[in-house]
Chains A and B, each alone.
Chain A
Amino acid sequence: MNGMWKFTVRRILIMIPQVVLLSILVFIMAKMMPGDALSGLMDPNLDPATLEELREKLGLNDPWYTQYIHWIGDLFHGDMGESFRYKMPVSELIGQRMVNTFWLSLVTLILIYLISVPLGIISGRYNDSLLDQAITGYTYIGFATPLFIFALVLLWIFGFQFGWFPTGGSVTPGSTPGTLDYISSKLYHLLLPAISMALIGTVGTVQYLRNEIIDTKQKDFILTARAKGASESRVYNRHVLRNSLLPIAAFFGYEITGLISGTVFVESIYTYPGMGQLFLESITTRDYSVATALTLLFGIAAILGTLISDIILSLVDPRIRIK
């Protein structure tokens, strides 16, 4: 366990330069966008001299590194600027959306694993069977189908045609937060977006797990297990699966990245008030401070995803702890 802790601490330390680099990149990107924090915020009729004075006062004329330090300092205080469109602090705006996106992502992830683990196991264990071919066929279709089209089709069929699911929003208006009704309404609203993301997002994991299982079952230690007299099901449950699920843990970071791009499309299509929808909206309306903050947050989420993968991996794979 000691090795485990050492590994975790070291792994977290590695994250620091990653986040710093990310913040610099995001900052440079923000600076390269046309206009600055003021041009959108202010009354266009203000005279240029006053504007220049304001710029000076806000430090917008300082060298970039000074501005960067300021920006970071503000971030640490939770100040991510002001949304010119919503006329409210970005942190507050994102805060509301973040909760929605979090639940949507969590449910999607759960669905992804609920779908991909059994399918991958069946496909890998009985490879080249009819069932495997059907599953592989599904993954090919999934790879070829763009998420936003698939999400639109599901919305049209199950939302508009059948009316089984709500077609927008994250909760029925008027329900009181905290009640069971409220929670089930929230879940109901995110179910269809989550299903559409999961059905497409799962194919990579299914394929990955299938290949892992086919690979693992040909390993020598599987022969050792059989030579011990272990039954077929025991061979799979004790020896093949554990070794094949390992890379799935490593895949978790990738899954998070996929979710981020997924939410951008899906939330926009389902007008689900989350970070993804806000991101697309902030770009089309040139709400730069919002776009910048979201980019930074998405980047951090991706970095955290790989961190979590690595820690899970080190928990299950003793070989990693040694290095």
Chain B
Amino acid sequence: MMPHAQKAAIFNKDEARTDWHDASLWMVRKKRDFAVSEIPEWEFLREFASDIKMHTLSKLDDYLESFEKAAIQNGAIVHWAADAKEHNDIVLSILNKHQAKKMVKSKSMLTEECHLNEFLEHHNIEVIDSDLGERIIQMLNEPPSHIVLPAIHLKKEEIGELFHRELHTEKGATDPQYLTEAARHHLREKFHTAQVALTGVNFGIAETGEIVVCTNEGNADMGVHLTPVQIHSMGIEKLIPRRSDLAVFTRLLARSATGQPVTVFTSHHRNPKPAGEMHIILVDNGRTEQLGKPDFRSSLKCIRCGACMNTCPIYRRSGGHSYETTIPGPIGSILTPGIDLKKHGQLPFASTLCGSCTDVCPVKIDIHTQLYKWRQIVSEAGLPEGGNKTMMSIMGSGLASPSFFHRLGNIGRKLLRLFPGKERFLSFTVWTKDRDLPKAPVESFREWYVKQTKDGQ
């Protein structure tokens, strides 16, 4: 796997494009700021939402049981999947049971996490991602670069080009309205012929056993309404206790995500259609393990709004693909090291710890503190990102010893004075590739202070 820094360096080669990417996401952040400024009780809502989620997580087993019980009473079929493989097998078994060869899918980062598409295609099942952004990247055979705006890394010219190739739109057409219309027609046909629809889940309500999907395009609903069999894949952390709790989250979610007061559709699915089947798959895939880590438990509060990505100055300048994870950006960097420390252990270092993610997060996850904590674990595990341990412990003792420390500092400064402009010679190459080193002054503060206090005496 290529290091994040290297991917970011490649992304930054085209500076104009980096600026465009940064500005597009900053615009979303500004829309969010505006929407949020209309809500005087915003900070209270964040606190409230965080409390509800922490409470739910603290009794997750109980709430999962009540959810299952209520869902079964509603006529749904509930499945439990310990990991991605089990999840995918369950989906396949449902498809096989109905001899389905075509499935429409909408709004599911969880199926991305499980790599469901590849798995089903391998079993000769056609999967059609039905939301526009998801469809675009599916056509390109790329993963999403953002959890809410999966194709945000693409310019409309590139989408025009793709649609010309795939959907035979006019060459050079870039009008979003025209392109969206073309995609609609293309998808309409798919909707009519699919036998099964799968959606993600934004919230599962323990009290009623229903699931809630928040969308703007309505494709999740269209899929569910047009096909006899519906599947809802849901991470176990998506639960909230009561339906009345939902209001807190719907107020936070869309405002944080896109700056809308609410998503266009907030759909509650509770019962199967007459003669239809409704499946709910509850997926763990590493979540209980994260729940068992007190320092990182609260990362499971995440409602996947994407605000931490939009605000992250690194994400905006490196793009979602640079993280090589399903969930990129700050939240991905605290979720994924728990899944595979070796592979994702570098991500907690792809941050300045500026804390903007923590302040923007609608459920108050202390993301930057968790990044810091993951760094400690990465280095404890002896991974290269954490630096050479022996070296670090020597440095550590040096920093605790005044005489060593002062000699080191003075030598450094004097070398810089002796060789001004020859910083490369001093192996500061990374710093000095695009930055100069500070000009070394004649005397340090300490030297000044000692003189000063002696003179004064």
Asked if A and B are interacting partners, one says no
